[in-house]
Amino acid sequence: MVVYAGQWKVFMNNSIDTGKVNVRHGGSAVFELTTNDPFDPAMFSTLLPRVVTKLTEYLRDDRIRGLSLDPPITLLEKAKSIKEKDGSKHTTEQQLLDILDLHISSGIHVSSAGYMARQYSSVPPVTAIYDLISAICPQPATFYEGGPLPNVADKIIKHEFGTFLGWHADDFDMISTSGASLGNLTAVLAARNTQLGSTWRAGVQQSKRMVPAIAVGGDSHYSVERLAGIIGIGQDNVIRLPLNQRRQICVDAARDCLARATNEGKRVFCLIAAAGTTSVGAIDPIFALSQLAAEYEAWLHVDAAHNGAFLVSDELRNRVSDLRYADSFCLDAHKTLFVPAACTLLFYRDKHNAKSAFPTFASYVQDTNEDIISGFESGMKNFECTKRPSILNLWVAWKLYGREFFEEKLNYLVHTTFEAYRLIQEIDYFTPINVPESNILCFRFLPEGISQPDIGPLQLRIKERINNEGRYYLSKVDIDGTPALRLVVMNHKIGIGDVRSLLHQIRRIGFAEMAAPLS
């Protein structure tokens, strides 16, 4: 139903119970919904306890469960067939609860010990509560006027991380953004704008003698792969750096690659390393790469989406402390700091560079003079305009539980992954692919006598059957072109016993698959 009332155009859908609408024009009250008002606070206070009850049940559910994915068509039908209201029994409230049930049943059970596949975690419930608070009382985080608290929280978190890096608060900068994909893009734009001169205004110029290029690790995340296309230098000008046995960028080979590229007229202005590759969690030799980058007057960005969080752990920090030599790096708090997505921290060693990514001026949100307020806001350093204040979730957990909470859970995940590695070494027919530096372990089931071409398909069949059986949820990744099984211990409920029983299940399935012809 569409109601026109002077300049007011009100769209109503048929989910409003009676559809009775009052529209008055003139005076102060111009618009009022009299029945079943979606904005009614009473509706919120009656509905929320019922939602909380369901979510608490969900959190308490200790069953070991993997993936139970519906085919999209089935889920589409289920979504469409959520029962319509009938005016009495089946109410708006009931519809919401039906949708919540569908949401829970169709998704990944991140709190279950069967969840061993992906890089996001269950969240401390208080961070989710805060997500609700910041949806009801919005503070879009970009400009101080709209989002004072998130801009202040940015500064608090910045200072905390500065101490882990040994950086002085006056020298460096940190902004929060939504996802490492965006964090990587923002940093590399800053690199382009500072290293290549006038590209922001004039566009990326190419000449035979000077072709802008970037260099990336062979296992870089697909968001990094895309960058060259987005920032206008072209995929042909991405130099892929070879990896060593540990799947880190090999510094000597990288030096040769850069020398060759320079001889061919390429200007490599940015080198992108990783601290925690998505495939195996490998950490590149950041210090050596920072020296190599300096030789070529290139910017070093580190995609530390996965392992950057190690900075908060006294035990794990030294694995990533060389991040302090990077010109920029980002880390995903929605992965290894366990807060709701998306919450990404992007660091610049030199604070002046933070403004280089988007050097535009917008008079409706900005003043020309740096003042007390503009020093506190990240708007002009961020891609986003309206931005969810997800930094508040991180800050709240930090405030309530302290650094130690993050440290303890991270240490546990990394220890458990290492134990899993030891177990895989002990059990016959398994071959680990990486010595885990973080909480990711890749391996293959390799029974005696399997022929080379069968290895990949066998891993894929195992992964599929494991996931279909619904007890454990595993992922896979191609390593040197051959699929491998991938275990990600994001869940502190996983004990080594769970890994052991997963491995038994893999062996059972693996041998059954070997007995049956592979198709």
Ligand X SMILES: *Cc1c(COP(=O)(O)O)cnc(C)c1O
Residues that bind ligand X (CB under 6 A): 119, 179-181, 221, 223, 274, 276-278, 303, 305-306, 332, 342, 344
The dihedral built from the CA positions of residue 324, 327, 333 and 334, taken in this order, carries a sign that is negative
State the minimum distance, in angstroms, from the CB of residue 187 to ligand X: 12
Q: Are strands 2-5 and 8-11 parallel, antiparallel or unpaired?
A: antiparallel
Nearer to ligand X, 180 or 392 (CB): 180
φ, ψ at 157 (rounded to 5°)? -65, -40
State the minimum distance, in angstroms, from the CB of residue 305 to ligand X: 3
State the minimum distance, in angstroms, from the CB of residue 185 to ligand X: 9
3-state secondary structure 281-328: CCECCHHHHHHHHHHCCCEEEEECCCCHHHHHCCCCHHHCHHHHHCCE
Other CB atoms within 10 A of residue 257 CB: 18
State the minimum distance, in angstroms, from the CB of residue 301 to ligand X: 11
Nearer to ligand X, 221 or 267 (CB): 221
**What is the Rg, in whole angstroms, of the alpha carbon atoms belonging to the chain?**
26
User: What is the three-class DSSP state of 283?
Assistant: strand
Nearer to ligand X, 485 or 509 (CB): 485
State the minimum distance, in angstroms, from the CB of residue 341 to ligand X: 7
Q: Are strands 31-33 and 21-23 parallel, antiparallel or unpaired?
A: antiparallel
State the minimum distance, in angstroms, from the CB of residue 78 to ligand X: 27
Nearer to ligand X, 179 or 447 (CB): 179
Are the C-beta atoms of residues 6 and 25 closer than 8 Å to each other? yes
- Compute, in degrees rounded to 10, the torsion defined by CA atoms 464, 467, 470, 474: 160
With CB atoms as reference, the residue minimizing the distance to ligand X is 179
Nearer to ligand X, 254 or 305 (CB): 305
State the minimum distance, in angstroms, from the CB of residue 329 to ligand X: 11
User: What is the three-class DSSP state of 386?
Assistant: coil
Nearer to ligand X, 219 or 498 (CB): 219
State the minimum distance, in angstroms, from the CB of residue 235 to ligand X: 18
Nearer to ligand X, 273 or 494 (CB): 273
Nearer to ligand X, 199 or 307 (CB): 307
User: What is the three-class DSSP state of 39?
Assistant: coil
Residue by residue, DSSP assigns 142-182 as: SSTTT-HHHHHHHHHHHHHHHHHHT--TTT-EEEEES-HHH
Distance of CA 265 to the CA centre of its chain: 36
The two structure tokens encoding residue 286: 């950041």
